[in-house]
Structure 1
Amino acid sequence: MENNQMTYGSDYKTLPITSLTSGIGVEVLTDLFCYNVQIVNIVLVGTPDSSEFVLIDAGMPGSAENIISTIEERFGTNAKPKAIILTHGHFDHVGAILELVEKWGVPVYAHELEIPFLTGQKSYPDPDPTVEGGVVAKMSALFPNEPINLGAIVESLPSNGNVPELPDFKWHHTPGHTPGHISLFREEDRALIVGDAFVTVKQESLYAVLTQEQEISGPPRYLTPDWQTSWTSVKKLEALKPSFAITGHGLPMARELLASNLKKLAEDFEQIAIPDHGKYV
């Protein structure tokens, strides 16, 4: 499939939601940069003085120019990543993917179980605006949900856990939020790029999303259809004993604060993360 045949879902649109940290970048480690696009984080892996870097996830619809300028500010004019790795295919993680691929011509990788949602074959389950949690959950019926089509541009990640262009990282299958959701872990410094397997903000609450008030939480409730599998994924990530975590939503968390909060989430997931009511509960 040619690049010009790639398409977003018919319901793709920019959304007027933001947070106080939108446009702010945090250097978690020398080669790990977390940048907030409205309400979601992208991650740049690579040192600023190098042309060898990778982009994790692709932001909100309409954010391509923002992402490009952020990358050029960090890596230099006309810089482009070696690859784009997707933790999953929800609209807020692939929102600018077509424009970025058209500009850079770089490969995109995702878990094989996520490929149908990225090649126009399958839609995710509808968001659940009835789920317990707050105003953002109620707004979720407006969120884009039709599958995008990346055609042959998107490739399955290697089955051995290796991450293309990131030899120090391994990918871990962390389903529940989506069937092919992945998180990335580097053993050497115990750095974890979580995606939405857990987040560090109550993503359903408009106040928390706006202020980015830090609180460890399960995956966003309004877009999570499988809670028991999500719990298993959190336990898997807690067992890795990460020292640093960059989540898809919320501020990065590190060291003792991360360890104690993630342990509590893994133990008390039912009370902390699983909503009291909702169509997927």
Structure 2
Amino acid sequence: MLITDEVHQVDGVKGAHVYLVASQEPFLVDTGMPGQERRIIEYIRSVGLNPRHLTGIILTHFDLDHIGSVQNLASALQCPVYAQEAEIPYIRGQKPRPGMKRFLPHLVSPIYGSLRAPEEVRPCAEMFHDWEVLPTPGHTPGHIVLYRNGIAIVGDLLQGGRIRPAPPYLTWNSGQLKESIRQLISRPLRWILPGHGPATPASNHWLDRLERTL
């Protein structure tokens, strides 16, 4: 589903939303649960792109429902994987996920299949093509948001629809999460593209309400 400015939400993916930026240098943001690679590749083809032309996969953070299909996709498409440096040990399985998150791969594997950790994850820079990579720690230590021209692909920093922060019980540091949200909403915003919930046009009404809740 095309949302705005060459950004698509890939239809039918289980887990967190996957976004396809179908620009001259196309790339994916996040990969959903394990076992979603075929659906993602089919969607890329359906919008007229050659999946082998993808320039990379960038991960907003290490949660299973965002990274589940990354290794299978990276292998199939022969493209690199990027994340913020603090997230990489968790994504590659070198550090245990904190709290209840460490048990999720075992709980979901009977339904979706096993998580394959990516063989290589490259640290992302301050820019990814023509998108800013904004450090937004809080939900996880190295969470990022991608921002361009008022569009923010926010991972789990915010949930869509009735815009609100990620739940505290799934958040690594609530104080940092709130500060990251303040930094984001201080920028001009046209669209919030979350990992969960619908893509949401920015409005002064919900921005004001969100700022009051912080």
More helix by share: 2
- Matched with 1:46 is 22
Specify the code of the residue in structure 1 equivalent to 2:32: G
Are 1:149 and 2:114 matched, yes or no?
no
* Partners of 1:40 and 1:59 within 8 A in 2: yes
Are 1:59 and 2:32 matched, yes or no?
yes
Measured in 1, the distance between the counterparts of 2:142 and 2:156 equals 12
- Encode CA deviations 1:54-87: one digit per residue, 9 max, x unaligned: 1011111111111111111113455441111110
> Which stretches of structure 1, 4 residues or longer, exceed 6 Å deviation after superposition?
none
The structure number with the bigger radius of gyration is 1
Are 1:100 and 2:67 matched, yes or no?
no
DSSP-derived class of the 2:134 partner: strand
DSSP-derived class of the 1:109 partner: strand
Query: Which of these residues, 183, 189, 192, is aligned with residue 152 of structure 2?
Result: 192
Measured in 2, the distance between the counterparts of 1:175 and 1:104 equals 29
Measured in 1, the distance between the counterparts of 2:116 and 2:93 equals 5
1:241-280 alignment, distance < 5 Å: 241-256=188-203, 259-269=204-214
Report the Cα offset of residue 39 of structure 1: 4.1
* Partners of 2:19 and 2:29 within 8 A in 1: yes
Query: Which of these residues, 184, 193, 212, is aligned with residue 237 of structure 1?
Result: 184
**TM-score w.r.t. structure 2 length?**
0.87
Measured in 2, the distance between the counterparts of 1:124 and 1:177 equals 12
Measured in 2, the distance between the counterparts of 1:141 and 1:265 equals 35
- Matched with 2:137 is 175
Measured in 2, the distance between the counterparts of 1:193 and 1:89 equals 15
User: What is the root-mean-square deviation of aligned Cα atoms in Å?
Assistant: 2.4
* Partners of 2:71 and 2:116 within 8 A in 1: no
Are 1:29 and 2:4 matched, yes or no?
yes
Identity %, equivalent residues: 31
Q: Which runs of 5 or more structure 2 residues have no equivalent in the other structure? A: none
The higher relative CO (CA closer than 8 Å, separation ≥ 6) is in 1
Measured in 1, the distance between the counterparts of 2:20 and 2:55 equals 11
Measured in 2, the distance between the counterparts of 1:140 and 1:217 equals 26
DSSP-derived class of the 1:102 partner: helix
CA separation of 1:246 and 1:34: change in aligned 2, threshold 3 A = same
Measured in 2, the distance between the counterparts of 1:67 and 1:173 equals 26
Measured in 1, the distance between the counterparts of 2:201 and 2:33 equals 25
- Matched with 1:135 is none
Measured in 1, the distance between the counterparts of 2:180 and 2:166 equals 10
More strand by share: 2
**TM-score w.r.t. structure 1 length?**
0.67
Report the Cα offset of residue 102 of structure 1: 1.0
Q: Which runs of 5 or more structure 1 residues have no equivalent in the other structure? A: 1-24, 129-138, 201-213, 270-281
Measured in 2, the distance between the counterparts of 1:148 and 1:113 equals 19
Are 1:218 and 2:165 matched, yes or no?
yes
DSSP-derived class of the 1:99 partner: helix
- Matched with 1:18 is none
DSSP-derived class of the 1:92 partner: helix
